[in-house]
Amino acid sequence: MLTKRIIPCLDIKDGRTVKGINFVNLRDAGDPVELARQYAEQNADELVFLDISATEQKRKTLAVLVRKVAQAIDIPFTVGGGISSVDDVAILLQNGADKVSLNSAAVKEPELINKLAAQFGSQCIVVAIDARQINGQWMVHLVGGKVPTKLDLFEWAREVAKRGAGEILFTSMDHDGTKTGFANKALARISEEVNIPVIASGGGGNLQHFMDTFIHGKADAALAASIFHFGEISIPRLKKELKNKQITIRI
């Protein structure tokens, strides 16, 4: 079994870390630079930084803040939010990001995935997919979950993998912030249909949820936010307990 990864996520709005439920009712969760430093010290495997209002407000991710976070940590760092061009990616990588995450722009211009993979390498390109179930079908949503599309989750996952994405970050909007467990059936299907790593996001609330997503959801990594931000479970304790349950993980 490949080593599983635990990834804290910093959702950034107006320079602060925030967290909500089902993509709404955001509350402040602290200074992103300080949180990033803490997670690196706690042996998080990677860090994801998402400027959640960048696309909505038609502005670019804050490169200065990205640089400050990158300088504070020594673990791989993925940045997303408002990325829509080769130049956007170049700026973020120059400011310390190891990977970039595309979402809305990839749906609007799928060829962008090919361009970025060719320019920077697939290992740098993560495609984030936000989806929720509508009449029993998983449908992709854009602009921080505010804009529904007619795009099927699984069809889109297969397409982004073919176009050169190095990873998929799947967030179930139905599970986001609920702490009721990850969308493991959908995750398992994505993992079976693509040949790139899949990151589970949305719903992590306790040890069992992480166990379940690694075993039943076949996820390669699990991302969470509020349970780490508000001290409900520490990364070292989570990793120790996963290891005790025979999950292959870096302590």
Residue 202 maps to which CATH number?
A: 3.20.20.70
How many domains does the chain fold into? 1
* CA dist., res. 72 & res. 63, Å (int): 14
Is 249 domain-assigned? Answer: no
Distances (CA, A) of 127 to 124, 150, 170, 211, 249: 10, 18, 8, 24, 24
Is 14 domain-assigned? Answer: yes
Q: What is the residue range of 83's domain?
A: 5-244
Q: Which residue has the tokens 């709005």?
A: 13
**What is the pTM for the complete model shown?**
0.91
Is 25 domain-assigned? Answer: yes
* CA dist., res. 37 & res. 41, Å (int): 6
130 is catalytic: yes
45, 51, 88, 130: the active-site residue: 130
Confidence (pLDDT) at 248: 96
One digit per residue, the tens of pLDDT, for the chain of length 251 reads 689 999 998 888 776 666 544 444 444 556 888 889 999 999 999 999 888 665 544 445 578 889 999 999 999 999 998 889 999 999 999 999 999 999 999 999 999 999 999 999 999 999 999 999 999 999 999 977 788 999 999 999 999 999 999 999 999 999 987 889 999 999 999 999 999 999 999 999 999 999 999 999 999 999 998 888 778 999 999 999 999 999 999 98
* CA dist., res. 48 & res. 237, Å (int): 20
11 is catalytic: yes
Is 125 domain-assigned? Answer: yes
Confidence (pLDDT) at 21: 47
* CA dist., res. 234 & res. 237, Å (int): 5
11, 88, 176, 212: the active-site residue: 11
Is 128 domain-assigned? Answer: yes
Is 141 domain-assigned? Answer: yes
* CA dist., res. 106 & res. 101, Å (int): 10
Is 144 domain-assigned? Answer: yes
Is 39 domain-assigned? Answer: yes
